[in-house]
Amino acid sequence: CPPWTPCHSSGATFSPGIHYIGERTVTDDDTWLTAKMIAIAGDPEYPISWHKMGYENEDTHERDGTGKGAYDVIKIADQPLVRLRAGTDEYEKELCRHFPGKERAVSEWIKTVKEAAAETMVFLVSRAWTPTVQRIWRALLGRNGFKWAGKTTHEVIASLGFSAREEQILCGQHGTTGEAPRDLCFLLHAWVVHHFINGGYFPVGGPMSIVKTLSSTIHKAGGRVFVRAHVERIPVENGEAVGVVLANGDTIKSRMGVISAAGLSATLHHLLSPADVERYMAAEMKFLRQVGGGVSCVCGFVGINGTAEELKLPSSNLWGFPEEATEGHDMDEIIMKYRNNLLDFSVEDGFCFISFLSARDPAYTHLHPDTTSCFIAAEAAPEAYEQLNEALGGAHTERRTKAYKNTKKQLETKLKNLLLKHFPQLEGRITSFDVSTPLSMYHYLKRFASYGLRQTPERFTHTLPRVGTAIRKFYLTGEDLVSGGFIAAVASAMVTATHVLGYTPLDILTGHHLLNDLPNVPQPPTLEQLTQAAKTEAM
């Protein structure tokens, strides 16, 4: 299953890889882009309703349902909280409150973010084309010659005259990309800020509702979804991908082709043979080595006795920084310091992200009355876990030793203390605490990086990876194709389909694209209609 599907432990439900989704960009027919993409690919029999975060009063914590509260709260040491609320005006107001006298710079920042965010569409679609067409596409359609992809977030922030302390606030949500400002591609940061500027949303019923609507479409169209079906390899014959071989020995042959959503690293290191990689995908391998994998995470899944309302737990996320950045000790240094000392248990403090799924999903209390589920994550340096992995004899659960369990126990204590530091009302309320480490990530995705490839300018200015490959009928999709993030993964699916279905750049420019065409594809019949038709035929 994708990492964002729910997991269950000790009577609670968790959603490891989706805490919030944004992009409430209104399209022509008044729906927002994220919802529109999922709705047109999903089954209308299982519609998704999106719940807005920040529906409680920020001071009294009463659920007033207005959605005017914060969706993200940035807490830097003992400084006043930064509360990001839905709407550009609210965003601007909050920044101005924290940066007195910098009103013009704030307005310039927002203008720059919007300008750069507008280029993400150009970037996304370009992944469908060959490197040469990508270059022409970006040069012609990217306003300012696609320049924002080549800049770091720090460069842009510094050029607008913001201080190190202000940079920390402007990048308070950096954990969504896992890059510190001096490495983070500005195009991506602008996309993230813009993605959430109109608020954070959560699918009612949790991410499973997304799985339900999408898998139903696949089923009705005659496809099948297999879970726990590990693909061992992708055989290539005469330069063409011919299917997949599963770990149980079964082979599924393909007529139309094979699309890998497993990530670039797993695809090149595990699914294709070394000979095929050398012959057909040497450029992708070179790119992978050059760019590398991004940050890892240690996550805590916490079961809590009591409802979110009773415990006054917010629907917003908390981004907690232990130190305030200064000119001599900037955000990059702070991030690296706490990433690198996560396994140093003499250091108690750290950067963390905290969210309460039950506080943002109105369906949760029906499933688990009188309980709350919490997710806490801390960034981890992948190298430390690569070493730990080797020391423990490889990433096989059955071989994980007492030493690994001890390390997990110590991580649990560290995360628990961080949780109680930020939410002391949870003292005595914690009923279960499960920890996942980057080794857990490796177990599922064959990499330590939480969000796949690093999110640097080097990556976003490159023309690889792209959907098509030198192997005929073999395609790439998923977060490594575009960027980390749920909506990026959905967009990558659209881009891959664009390529596979043979759309041309001219089609896209003349409005002939999937967003317009998919709603016109006749819906497959519902189960009821099929049953009715079968009955009629039998009569």
Q: Tell me which residues touch ligand FAD (CB under 6 A).
A: 1-4, 16-21, 230-231, 261-262, 266, 297, 299, 377, 444-445, 450-451, 478-479, 484-487, 489
Distance, in Å, from the CA atom of 256 to the CA atom of 92, rounded to the nearest integer, reads: 49
* Least distance between ligand FAD and beta carbon 379 (Å): 10
Distance, in Å, from the CA atom of 12 to the CA atom of 14, rounded to the nearest integer, reads: 7
* Least distance between ligand FAD and beta carbon 35 (Å): 13
Specify whether the CB–CB gap between 284 and 131 falls below 8 A: no
Residue 296's SS3 state is strand
Burial of 133 (0-12, 13-18, 19+ CB in 10 A): middle
Rank residues 17 and 69 by Cβ distance to ligand FAD and give the closer one.
17
Rank residues 304 and 357 by Cβ distance to ligand FAD and give the closer one.
357
Rank residues 232 and 309 by Cβ distance to ligand FAD and give the closer one.
232
Rank residues 142 and 206 by Cβ distance to ligand FAD and give the closer one.
206
* Least distance between ligand FAD and beta carbon 48 (Å): 14
Residue 43's SS3 state is coil
* Least distance between ligand FAD and beta carbon 488 (Å): 6
Distance, in Å, from the CA atom of 404 to the CA atom of 393, rounded to the nearest integer, reads: 11
Rank residues 142 and 478 by Cβ distance to ligand FAD and give the closer one.
478
For residue 172 the two structure tokens come to 């308070």
Q: How far apart are the first and last CA of the chain?
A: 42
Rank residues 244 and 311 by Cβ distance to ligand FAD and give the closer one.
244
* Least distance between ligand FAD and beta carbon 352 (Å): 12
Distance, in Å, from the CA atom of 328 to the CA atom of 16, rounded to the nearest integer, reads: 35
Amino acid identity, position 174: H
The H-assigned helical ranges of 127-207 are 131-141, 153-159, 164-170, 186-196
Specify whether the CB–CB gap between 423 and 416 falls below 8 A: no
Rank residues 295 and 325 by Cβ distance to ligand FAD and give the closer one.
295
In sequence order, the 6+-apart residues with CB closer than 8 A to the CB of 191 are 116, 117, 120, 483
* Least distance between ligand FAD and beta carbon 207 (Å): 9
Rank residues 266 and 281 by Cβ distance to ligand FAD and give the closer one.
266
Amino acid identity, position 96: C
In sequence order, the 6+-apart residues with CB closer than 8 A to the CB of 360 are 20, 51, 53, 202, 315
* Least distance between ligand FAD and beta carbon 533 (Å): 35
Contacts 24+ apart (CB under 8 A), 398-407: 400/439, 404/439, 407/343, 407/437
For residue 263 the two structure tokens come to 């990530």
Rank residues 170 and 490 by Cβ distance to ligand FAD and give the closer one.
490
Rank residues 371 and 436 by Cβ distance to ligand FAD and give the closer one.
436
* Least distance between ligand FAD and beta carbon 471 (Å): 17
Phi and psi torsions of 7, nearest 5°: -125, 155
Distance of CA 342 to the CA centre of its chain: 22
Rank residues 113 and 380 by Cβ distance to ligand FAD and give the closer one.
380
Amino acid identity, position 450: S
* Least distance between ligand FAD and beta carbon 15 (Å): 8
Specify whether the CB–CB gap between 291 and 254 falls below 8 A: no
Tell me which residue of 276, 277, 284 sits closest to 237, measured CA to CA. Answer: 276
Specify whether the CB–CB gap between 69 and 85 falls below 8 A: yes
* Least distance between ligand FAD and beta carbon 217 (Å): 16
In sequence order, the 6+-apart residues with CB closer than 8 A to the CB of 133 are 126, 505
Q: Which residue is nearest to ligand FAD (CB)?
A: 478
Rank residues 325 and 490 by Cβ distance to ligand FAD and give the closer one.
490
In sequence order, the 6+-apart residues with CB closer than 8 A to the CB of 289 are none
Bridge partners, residue 50, by sequence:
203
* Least distance between ligand FAD and beta carbon 196 (Å): 9
Rank residues 345 and 444 by Cβ distance to ligand FAD and give the closer one.
444
* Least distance between ligand FAD and beta carbon 99 (Å): 27
* Least distance between ligand FAD and beta carbon 324 (Å): 25
Rank residues 98 and 126 by Cβ distance to ligand FAD and give the closer one.
126
* Least distance between ligand FAD and beta carbon 455 (Å): 11
For residue 400 the two structure tokens come to 């994980």
Q: Count CB atoms within 10 A of the CB of residue 165.
A: 17
In sequence order, the 6+-apart residues with CB closer than 8 A to the CB of 385 are 296, 437, 438, 439, 442, 448
